[in-house]
A and B are shown apart, each in its own frame.
Chain A
C-alpha cells in the first residue's frame, strides 16, 4: 500500500496541485470567453500579450507573496506590505532629485530626465528603507511581543503617513528614464521584472531549502516554545522573516514605481496586503503557520494576477473586483480547511476503489 503511490496521487497531494488547478480553470475560462488572451506577439524585439502582462504586472505581487509566505509560516501576518511599497517608492522618487536644506527645487529640474543621485544609490536606499520597515515589524513582534496583526497594522496606517512625509505630501512623477528599467525594461525579450523575481525566488529558495532557516521557520510556526527549548532563537527567526518580507516589499515598490513612473503615497501598492495574503492562502499555507511552499505561493500570486486581468478583459470594474476578491479569499480559506479536505479525499478514494473493482 505504502510503496505503490502512483505519481498522480503524489502530485495530487503536493502543495502546488490545487493552485495549478485554479490557474488551469482560469485559463480554460479565458480560452472560452477571451480567445485573444493567449495571443503572444513580438513588438520592438520583445514579447507582448496578456500572458506577459500577467508576469510583468504580477512581479510585485509575486515578490510580496514570497515575503508574506515566510511571515505567515511563522504564524504571523504582515499587513504593512502596501505601506512599505509606498515608502520604498517614495524614497526612490525623492532621491532622484533630493532637496537639501532650504534649496528650492523648481519644476524645471524635477521634470528633467536626470538624476542627482546615482541609480545604484537610489536602489540601495529603496531596499534599505523597506528592509528597515521589515526590521521594525520584526522587532515589534519578536522583541516587544506585540501580536503580529496589531504590530503591522500600526505600520500599515502610519507607513503611508511616513511615505507622505518623505514626498512632502505630493504625488511625485518620475522623469528619469533609467529608473524605468526595472518595471518596463526587457532583457532577451522578457521583462526585467521577471529576472528580478527569479533572482529573489532563487535567493529565498536557497535560504529555505539549503540552510536550516526553512526548517526553523516551520518549527516556529508550529510550536514556538518547543523551538526555543531546542536552542533555536525563535525571536531571530521571526525577525528574519519580517525583515525579509520588508525587503521583498521594497523591491516590489521599486518595480511598481518604476512601472507607473510615479510615487503616490496614498495609492501605490494599495490592497497589496489583501492580494499577498490571498496568494499565500491559495498556495496552501495555513494562516496559523507551519508548513509552507514558496512555489505554491508564487503560483497563487499568478492565479490572482491572471484572475484580475481576466476580469478586466471581460469588463468587470476594478472596484467590484475588490469585493469579489474578498469573497474569493474567504472561499479559498474555507476550501483549505480540514473539513473540506476530508470530503474531497473521500470522493477521490471512492473513485479509486470503483476503478480497482472494475479491473
Chain B
C-alpha cells in the first residue's frame, strides 16, 4: 500500500498526463468516429514531428532549470536557410549537416552567454529568438519553395507500419522517435543525464560536488539548438518550403508540452516520456478542433495556454502533497 502511494506520488504528474491523453482521445473518438482509425493516432506523430523534437530539447533545458525561448524562431531560420541553399542547388545532405551545425553553434553561443556572463536564460534565449527570426527574414522576406528530389523523397515516402493495416508514417517522423529514445536513455542512466537533474535541483551544490556544471550547461543548450535545427529540417521537409514566419510561438507549444508532460518549470524533475504525451495531448486538441471545423485556430492558442496553466496548478498541488 505504502509502495503504491509513493509510486503514485512519484509519478503522479506523468500518470495524470497519460490519463488525460486517453480521456481526451476517447472523447474525440466518441464525437468523431473517424478518430477511431489507427492512422489518426499516427498522424499525431506525423503532424507534430517537429514539435516533438523541440520539446525534447526543451525538456532537457527545463529539467536543468533553464529555458530556451529561441526554438520556434530557430525552426524558421533553419527552414529559410536550407530552402535558400537548396535553391542554389546545394547538396541536400550537406545542407542538413550544415543546418544542424548552425543550430548547435547558436545554442552553444547562447549557453556560453548564459553560463559565463551570468545573464538569465530567458533573456538570452528571447534575444536569440529575435535574432534568429530577424536573420530568417534577412535571408528572404517571403516564402521559398523547396524543389529538391531528395527532400521530395523524404517528404513523400510512406513507411507502412506492422500490425496496423494501412497505417503509415513518413521518414522524418522517425527522427523524433529515435531522438526520444536516445534522450530517454541519456537522461535516465548516464552521468551526463543525472548531472542535468542535479544542476536543475541546485547548481551551486552540483558545482561543489565537483560535477562538470559548465560543460553540462553548454551541452544542454547546444543540444536544444541541435534539436531546433533538426525540427526545422523536419518542418521544411513536411511543408517543402522555408519561411521566416514559420514556427511562430512554437516555443510556447513546446513549453506547454513539457509542462503538461509533468516536468516542473522550477527544474530538477521530469521525463521525456511525459513530454511525448504532452505533445500528443497538444496534437489531439488540434485534431479535434480540425475535425470540428467551425472552431478557429486562435482557440488552440487560448486552449494551450489554459491547459498549461492547469498543469502548472496540478504540479504545484503535487509538490505541496510531497512536502507533507
Contacts and interface: CB of A to CB of B under 8 A. Distances in A.
A160 B123 contact: no
Contacts of B176: none
Interface stretch (A150-158, A192-200, A232-240): A150-158
Interface stretch (A96-104, A122-130, A162-170, A351-359): A162-170
Interface in B294-324: 296, 298-302, 304-306, 308-309, 312-313, 316
Q: Which residue among B137, B299, B302, B316 has the maximum number of chain A CB atoms within 10 Å of its CB?
A: B302
Interface string A214-247: 0000000000000000000000000000000000
Q: Which residue among A144, A149, A169, A273 has the maximum number of chain B CB atoms within 10 Å of its CB?
A: A149
Given A146-B312, A322-B137, A323-B138, A287 B123 contact: yes
Interface stretch (B31-39, B126-134, B210-218, B230-238): B126-134
A156 B250 CA distance: 12
A153 B252 contact: yes
Contact of A319 (B124, B134, B249, B309): B134
Given A161-B299, A271-B130, A333 B135 contact: no
B7 to A, nearest CB: 27
Contact of B305 (A154, A317, A322): A154
B134 A324 contact: yes
A162 to B, nearest CB: 6
A327 interface: yes
A20 interface: no
Given A158-B306, A274-B126, A323 B131 contact: yes
Interface residues of B, number: 44
B24 interface: no
B252 A156 contact: yes
B156 interface: no
Contacts of B298: 160-162, 164-165, 169
A146 B264 CA distance: 11
A91 to B, nearest CB: 15
Given A150-B255, A150-B312, A160-B298, A327 B123 contact: no
Contact of B134 (A161, A323, A330): A323
A315 B117 CA distance: 33
B169 to A, nearest CB: 29
Nearest to A168: B296
A51 interface: no
B262 to A, nearest CB: 15
Nearest to A323: B134
Interface string B127-164: 11111111111100100000000000000000000000
B321 to A, nearest CB: 16
Nearest to A166: B298
A309 B5 CA distance: 62
Contact of B123 (A145, A158, A164, A333): A333
B291 interface: no
Interface in B212-226: none
A188 interface: no
Interface in A268-305: 271, 273-274, 277, 287
B119 A330 contact: yes
B47 to A, nearest CB: 19
B265 interface: yes
A105 interface: no
Contacts of A319: 133-134, 136-138, 141, 244
A157 B254 CA distance: 12
B94 interface: no
Contacts of B69: 153
A329 B138 contact: no
B282 to A, nearest CB: 13
A35 B2 CA distance: 79
B216 to A, nearest CB: 22
B120 interface: yes
B105 interface: no
Q: Which residue among B127, B300, B316 has the maximum number of chain A CB atoms within 10 Å of its CB?
A: B127
A86 to B, nearest CB: 11
A271 B73 CA distance: 13
B74 interface: no
A337 B138 contact: no
B127 A326 contact: yes
Contacts of A324: 134
A337 B118 contact: yes
Interface in A247-285: 271, 273-274, 277
B309 A154 contact: yes
Contacts of B289: none
Interface in B1-21: none
A359 B248 CA distance: 62
A161 B305 CA distance: 10
B302 A161 contact: yes
A321 interface: yes
A329 B127 contact: yes
Interface in B223-274: 244, 249, 252, 255, 265-266
Given A158-B302, A169-B296, A169-B298, 10 more contacts: A144-B312, A158-B304, A161-B305, A162-B298, A274-B126, A274-B130, A319-B134, A319-B138, A325-B134, A327-B127
* 6 tightest Cβ-Cβ pairs between the two chains A and B: A323-B134, A158-B305, A319-B137, A161-B301, A322-B134, A161-B298
21 contacts: A140-B309, A155-B305, A156-B249, A157-B249, A158-B305, A160-B298, A161-B298, A161-B302, A164-B296, A165-B299, A271-B130, A277-B126, A317-B138, A319-B137, A319-B138, A319-B141, A320-B134, A322-B130, A323-B132, A326-B128, A334-B117
Interface of B: 67, 69, 113, 117-120, 122-124, 126-138, 141, 244, 249, 252, 255, 265-266, 296, 298-302, 304-306, 308-309, 312-313, 316
